[in-house]
Amino acid sequence: MDIDYTAEEIAFRDEVRAFIAENHTAEVKAKSAKSMTGYIDKEDHIAWQKALYKKGWIAPNWPVEHGGPGWSATQKYIYETEMMRAGTLRPVAFGLKMVAPVIMEFGTEEQKAKYLPDILATNVWWCQGYSEPGSGSDLASLQTRAIPDGDDYIVNGSKIWTTMAQRADLIFCLVRTSTEGKRQEGISFLLIDMKTPGIKVEPIVLMDQTEAPNQEVNQVFFQDVRVPQANRIGKENDGWTVAKYLLEFERGNAYAGGLQGGVAKIRDIAKQERADGGRLIDDPAFAAKLAQLEVTTEAVQFTELRTLSALGAGQRVGASSSILKCQGSSMVQEIGELTVEATAYYASPFDRGVLDPGANVEPIGPAYAPAAAGRYFNQRKATIYGGSNEVQHEIVAKRILGM
C-alpha cells in the first residue's frame, strides 16, 4: 500500500521501530519463531505487555478516558504494521480486546474501576468461557447453570476449548440463569475468579502435540462454584446481548499485518530454496501463487482500514467483523500451506523436541523448517474458533446481504 506519511507520522513510525528494537528481545523473538500456537512463556507475554503499558501503547483502541493513547487511524495503522513487520508478540486478546470493551459498554462504574486498570496494566490474564461440549456454533443451547443463592450464584457445568485457561486469573463466562422462554433470554454474563473453589482445568492436546503446561486449550469444570452476583455484567438474563457485542471484537481481529509478515517470510524462504536448478522465487508457478496471496492480503488490509476508520467515527464493527474473520482466517491457512510447500522436504520431519521452549537440539534442515508443519496443523483452528467460518457465512448472508 502506498501511503505518503506526514513528517509527524514518519517520526511516530521511527519511534515505534526504536521501541520494538529496545524492548522485544532476541530471546523472545527466537521463542516466538518456534511457537506453533502464537503463545510462548507466560512471563514473556507479561513482560512485553507491561513494557507497552509503561509506554502508554498497550491498548490502541481504548478510549483516552480509560487509558487509550488517543491515536488517529493512521497512527494505529502504523503501530500495527510495524509490530507485525517485526514479528512481535501479539498482546493477549481476552482481556484487552474482548472483555474490556464489554465492561466499558455494559459494566457499572464500580466494575469499570475494579477491572479495567488491571487489564490495562496486564496484572491479570483472562480466558473465555463461551463454548461447551455440545454448544459451539449453537451457543444459545449452553447449559452451565448459575442458580441464585443469597448474594451469590452457584455455578455448575463445564466449558470447553478454553484457550490458556491454565494461565488465567479470571474467566468471562456465559451461564444459564433461566430455562424459561427463548433460549437466548435465559443467559447471563459472569466474571469468575479462576481460584474459586470448585473449578478444575484439564488440558486438551491438539494435533500440534503441544502438551501441558503449554497446551493451547482446556476443558474447565465448575462444581458448586460460588460467584458473587456483583460479578455479573449487564442485567440477569440479558447476557446474550453482551455476548454478541464481545464477539464483534473477537471476530474483528486485525489480520493484515500478520498476513504480510507471513507473505514476507515465504518470499524469504523461496529465495533460499531451489526449484528446477534455480531459485524457487524465480519459478513462475510458485511466484504466481505468492502474488495471489499478496493481492488478497492487500484486500484484507483495506477492509480492516475501512473498519478502523468506521470505529474511529464512533460506529460499531457489527456484522462486517464476520467478513474479516472469514477472509483473514482462510488466508492464515493458505499462507501456512504455501510455507510448507516452499519448505519442501524439510517441512516433513515433525520433531516436537526441537520446538520445546529452551530446547538446544539442532533442527533437521534450515531454521525456518521445524515449525512449518506444526503451524500448518495448528492453523486448522483459525476457521473454527471465534465461530466457524460456515456460521460466519450465514451471518454475512443474513445481516449484510439481507438474504
Ligand X SMILES: Cc1cc2nc3c(=O)[nH]c(=O)nc-3n(C[C@H](O)[C@H](O)[C@H](O)COP(=O)(O)OP(=O)(O)OC[C@H]3O[C@@H](n4cnc5c(N)ncnc54)[C@H](O)[C@@H]3O)c2cc1C
Interacting residues toward ligand X by CB under 6 A: 127-131, 136-137, 161-163, 216-217, 381, 384-385, 387-388, 390-391, 394
Supply the minimum distance, in Å, between the C-beta of residue 354 and ligand X. 22
Supply the minimum distance, in Å, between the C-beta of residue 96 and ligand X. 15
Cβ proximity to ligand X: between 138 and 268 the closer is 138
Chain-centre distance for alpha carbon 213 = 19
Look-up: residue for cell 503499558?
53
Cβ proximity to ligand X: between 136 and 234 the closer is 136
* Alpha-carbon radius of gyration of the chain: 22
Pairing, β 126-129 against β 170-176: parallel
Query: 169, 194 in Cβ contact below 8 A?
Result: yes
Q: Which three cell numbers stand for residue 393?
A: 457465512
Give the residue nearest to ligand X (CB).
136
Supply the minimum distance, in Å, between the C-beta of residue 386 and ligand X. 6
C-alpha pair distances (Å), 357 with each of 40, 210, 216 = 8, 11, 14
Supply the minimum distance, in Å, between the C-beta of residue 359 and ligand X. 23
Cβ proximity to ligand X: between 143 and 309 the closer is 143
Pairing, β 217-228 against β 187-193: unpaired
Neighbours of 394 (CB within 10 A): 15
Pairing, β 274-275 against β 278-279: antiparallel
Supply the minimum distance, in Å, between the C-beta of residue 68 and ligand X. 25
Cβ proximity to ligand X: between 163 and 307 the closer is 163
Cβ proximity to ligand X: between 200 and 306 the closer is 200
Exposed / middle / buried, residue 66 (Cβ in 10 Å: 0-12, 13-18, 19+): middle
Chain-centre distance for alpha carbon 98 = 9
Query: 186, 243 in Cβ contact below 8 A?
Result: no
Q: Which three cell numbers stand for residue 359?
A: 530446547
Beta-bridge partners for 194: none
Cβ proximity to ligand X: between 136 and 262 the closer is 136
Cβ proximity to ligand X: between 81 and 214 the closer is 214
Supply the minimum distance, in Å, between the C-beta of residue 135 and ligand X. 7
Supply the minimum distance, in Å, between the C-beta of residue 216 and ligand X. 6
